[in-house]
Amino acid sequence: MPKGYWVCAYRTIADPEKLATYNNLAGPAVEAGGGRILARGTRVVAHEAGIAERTVLVEFDSFQQAVAAYESAAYQQARAALADGAERDFRIVEGID
């Protein structure tokens, strides 16, 4: 079964305090959903139309698990806390088996 990944590139961060609150809620929500954070806020080299801003990569054992974790009440609470604090390009991607 192919793994699932969250790939989230932040275009802008408007409110660092909202981002900090989001981080405090999102980390436990990701872990509760079976996710493993592989990269978060580390160095980024952007190419082509990329933006060298904060990028997060989370791995799940399956694509379905990645979708379920995103839809969970705990993660939705984290998203609500972030609200307009950042503009993100958030994708859930199925890995290659």
Domains of the chain with bracketed CATH = 8-94 (3.30.70.100)
Per-residue pLDDT, averaged over 31-39, amounts to 98
SS3 of the chain: helix, strand, coil, percent, to 5: 40, 30, 30
Give the CA count within 13 Å in the CB-facing half-sphere of 3: 11
Beta 86-94 vs 4-13: how paired, if at all? Answer: antiparallel
When pLDDT is cut at 50, 70 and 90, the band that residue 41 belongs to is confident
Per-residue pLDDT, averaged over 32-61, amounts to 94
pLDDT surpassing 90 at residue 97: no
What is residue 77's predicted lDDT score, i.e. its pLDDT? 98
Whether 77 and 25 have beta carbons less than 8 Å apart is answered as: yes
